[in-house]
A = this chain, B = another copy of it.
């Protein structure tokens, strides 16, 4: 073995792992491999929601009828015709698209997040977030040297009055304020939805301190209960919102189709970054997605997802009511794929996980979702993928374990 296979190799890996933390969720999932464990740790849609028959037909047709384009290289910003269809789709769903806006198609909305980090975040820049917030977003911004300042959430979403204080303080300290990252609807992992009043307040703050707003919105298309959700993008008056979306939860994640919609100067910087990253996203996926949207397959999927996920959420809530110990609490999300739970004070959910896996149930400890620490007693529970029977039994196992630990 040469130096590169041995010591050099380890040095390389070690150096890189410092900067790039392996996704904690993914590492945890490895714990459960080959064991009979009910996992609430993932974030997979229920494959029952995929419109298989229709997508099979769509794929066949786009290749047969338009294969010269659908199998060919395509522009970095995305297939032009698909970008038009996508803008229409967004408009139909109450997302404002102005004449100053542009849209770029990305390899899942993960890539949109990455391109935002790569194009817009410099070392030391302050990124304001909810606490807790989406782990993968934290990991991306961290890689580009962001400094996090966060505001807590309650049932009405991010507490914007606290956000305002913290922005003000950071500005007074002379920090370089860059952007607010938020998941206003069915927040991941918090499961809460921001009120209209707070949405307006957040935009006022952004306005006052000249901040960009990155609105991450994978869930607003399939809330289970009627909620008055207006995207920040639609409320925005000064072209400072970059709106990220994805077909992963409303059609099929395997297509890897996400997008960023925003002022065209911002989309141009993302496009330049994307040229080097992957040149363009799967053309075939884009043609399939375009035809699926045209044929109303998203509405069909969303209808099904609503019914299935609402039922599963209610089942999980009911089981938690029955099995979780006194002193614990949890959110009642109007959408998304997760319930966020607070175990009784003093229980460290990260330390508890190996024991939980031993008992046949897994979850994601909540602490790593908190950009500035805290949340040691929290956990994120996925209800979209497990079966009803698994939901009930898994929550039973978890509840019993928590009761033992809480001594109640």
Contacts from A to B (Cβ < 8 Å)? 1-5, 8-10, 12-13, 16-17, 20, 22-23, 26, 43-45, 47, 50, 52-53, 55-57, 59-61, 63-64, 67-74, 76, 100, 106-108, 110-111, 114, 119-120, 136, 139-140, 143, 207, 210, 212, 238-240, 248, 252-256, 263, 265-266, 268-269, 272-273, 275-285, 288
Contact = CB atoms under 8 A, between A and B. Distances in A.
Nearest to A271: B22
A68 B55 contact: no
6 contacts: A2-B207, A20-B272, A22-B272, A107-B278, A256-B281, A282-B282
Contacts of A282: 107, 254-256, 281-282, 284-285
Contact of A26 (B59, B61, B76, B119): B76
Contacts of A269: 12-13, 16
B47 A68 contact: yes
Contact of A284 (B8, B266, B268, B285): B285
Given A17-B272, A50-B68, A107-B282, 18 more contacts: A4-B212, A4-B263, A5-B263, A12-B120, A22-B272, A43-B73, A47-B71, A55-B71, A56-B64, A60-B60, A70-B254, A71-B255, A72-B253, A110-B277, A111-B279, A140-B276, A255-B284, A284-B288
A244 to B, nearest CB: 13
A163 B112 CA distance: 40
Query: Interface SS of chain A: helix, strand, loop or mixed?
Result: helix
Contact of A67 (B52, B107, B143): B52
Contacts of A255: 71, 282-284
A99 to B, nearest CB: 12
A269 B3 CA distance: 17
A40 to B, nearest CB: 16
Contacts of A5: 100, 238-239, 263, 265
Contacts of A239: 1-2, 4-5
A252 B66 CA distance: 13
Contacts of A67: 47, 50, 52, 55-56
Given A276-B143, A278-B108, A284-B285, A2 B71 contact: no
A52 B72 contact: no
Contacts of A45: 72
Contacts of A238: 1-2, 4-5
Contact of A254 (B13, B74, B266): B74
Given A263-B4, A268-B13, A272-B20, A60 B56 contact: yes
Contacts of A248: 73
B59 A72 contact: no
B210 A276 contact: no
Nearest to A48: B68
Contact of A44 (B16, B47, B72): B72
Contact of A16 (B70, B100, B272): B272
Q: Which 8 A-B residue pairings sit nearest by Cβ, starting from the closest?
A: A254-B283, A2-B238, A71-B252, A52-B67, A9-B265, A59-B59, A56-B63, A107-B278
B1 A119 contact: no
